[in-house]
Amino acid sequence: MIFIVDAILIIAVVAADQLVKSWIVMNIGLGATHQVIPGILSLTNIRNDGAAWSILEGKTFFFYLITIVAVGVLGYFLYRTRGQWLYQISLSFMLAGALGNFIDRIRLKYVVDMFQLDFINFPIFNVADFALTIGVILLFIAILREDHLEG
């Protein structure tokens, strides 16, 4: 039963990521910015062939390799933690985020990013990046919770 919930979460996040990216590409010109909440959030259509802050820009093969390894490791841990709901959710978010950006890299050779925080110097990101971040935070909470229960 838990794997069905995981699969639904992963599919929903990947679908949301791809839908938002498609909408951005169709409605906001490349490099253009649309203010959503003045001084807080804008939508900016950019292409990123690197990681955050364009680190490792143009290293597409490296990202293919890293993502394949990450998906395998995350899938393994998703299987190993069955029945531990917080681990399952965190790993599902991370897996969905990795897959969302991987689809872009395979299909487009770059990742579409769009969310720009206007109040801080932070990389423009997408739904998949957000899912990865939520997954890491939840994993951290699961680990702390487990340590607290054991201690």
Distance in angstroms (rounded) separating the CA atoms of residues 118 and 41: 6
6, 17, 129, 147: which is the annotated catalytic residue?
129
Question: In this structure, which amino acid lies at residue 58?
Answer: G
Phi-psi category of residue 62: left, alpha or beta, with phi > 0 → left and psi -120 to 50 → alpha: alpha
Residues in CB range of 4: below 8 A, 6 or more apart? none
147 is catalytic: no
- Give the angle 131-133-118 at the CA atoms, nearest 5°: 95
49 is catalytic: no
6, 17, 104, 113: which is the annotated catalytic residue?
113
Q: HSE (CB half, 13 Å, CA atoms) of 15?
A: 6
Distance in angstroms (rounded) separating the CA atoms of residues 61 and 72: 17
Which sequence positions are flagged as catalytic?
Answer: 113, 129
